[in-house]
Structure 1
Amino acid sequence: MIYLLRRSSLLLLPLLLSVNTLSAQEGGGGGTDYNALTSLQNNNNAMGSGRSILSTPPDVLGSNYVFENWNNDAVIVLDTGRKFSLKQNFNINAAQGSFESKTSETSVFSFDLSNIEHVIINEDRYVVGLDPEENRLKVYRDLGSYNGKKILKGFRTERVLGHPDPLRGQVNDEIKIRDTYYLSNEGALEKIKLKKSTIIDLFDTDSKSLKKYIKKERLNFKDDAHFTKLFLYLNNS
Structure 2
Amino acid sequence: MKHLIFFLALFISVGLEAQTNDAFVQNNATALNVAAQGNIRSQGSSAYFVNPPREIEGSVHLFDNWNNRAVIYTVDNQQYLMKNINLNLQRHTFESKIAQDTLFTFNFNNIDKFVVNNKVYRNYYWDDDNRVYEVIYDGKDYQVIKGFKLEIIEGSANPMLNRRSDKYAKKETYYIRKEGKIKPFRLSKGRIMKLFKSDEEKSKELLQFVRENKLSFKKEYDIRRLLEFSDSI
TM bin (shorter chain): 0.7 to 0.9
After TM superposition, the score normalised by the length of structure 2 is 0.77
2:110 to 115, 120, 123: 115
* Aligned residue in 2 for 1:17: none
1:184 to 159, 177, 180: 177
Deviations 1:1-34 (A, max 9, x none): 41123269999xxxxxxxxxxxxxxxxxxxxx42
User: Does structure 2 conserve the Cα–Cα contact (< 8 Å) formed by 1:156 and 1:179?
Assistant: yes
Amino acid at match of 1:96: R
1:140 to 115, 133, 141: 133
1:65 to 43, 61, 82: 61
Gaps of 5+ in 2: 1-14
Query: Are positions 1:152 and 2:145 aligned together?
Result: yes
Measured at CA, do residues 190 and 166 of structure 1 come closer, stay the same or move farther in structure 2, by a change above 3 Å?
Answer: same
Number of paired residues?
211
Query: Are positions 1:41 and 2:55 aligned together?
Result: no
User: Does structure 1 conserve the Cα–Cα contact (< 8 Å) formed by 2:73 and 2:113?
Assistant: yes
Alignment of 1:73-112 (within 5 A): 73-87=69-83, 89-112=84-107
After TM superposition, the score normalised by the length of structure 1 is 0.76
User: Does structure 2 conserve the Cα–Cα contact (< 8 Å) formed by 1:113 and 1:138?
Assistant: no
Query: Are positions 1:6 and 2:1 aligned together?
Result: no
Provide the identity percentage. 24
Give the deviation of 1:63 after TM superposition: 1.2
Give the deviation of 1:124 after TM superposition: 1.1
What is the distance in 1 between the residues matched to 2:142 and 2:231?
12
**Structure 1 vs Structure 2 CA RMSD:** 2.9
Measured at CA, do residues 115 and 61 of structure 1 come closer, stay the same or move farther in structure 2, by a change above 3 Å?
Answer: same
Give the deviation of 1:234 after TM superposition: 1.7
What is the distance in 2 between the residues matched to 1:214 and 1:171?
46
Deviations 1:173-224 (A, max 9, x none): 2111111222112333222233331122134653344344445524153x43
State the structure with more CA Rg.
2
User: Does structure 2 conserve the Cα–Cα contact (< 8 Å) formed by 1:143 and 1:151?
Assistant: yes
What is the distance in 2 between the residues matched to 1:182 and 1:40?
35
- Farther off after superposition, 149-158 or 192-201: 192-201
* Aligned residue in 2 for 1:200: 193
Give the deviation of 1:52 after TM superposition: 6.6
Residue aligned with 1:113, SS = coil
Deviations 1:140-160 (A, max 9, x none): 101013342110111110111
User: Does structure 1 conserve the Cα–Cα contact (< 8 Å) formed by 2:151 and 2:168?
Assistant: yes
Measured at CA, do residues 224 and 138 of structure 1 come closer, stay the same or move farther in structure 2, by a change above 3 Å?
Answer: same
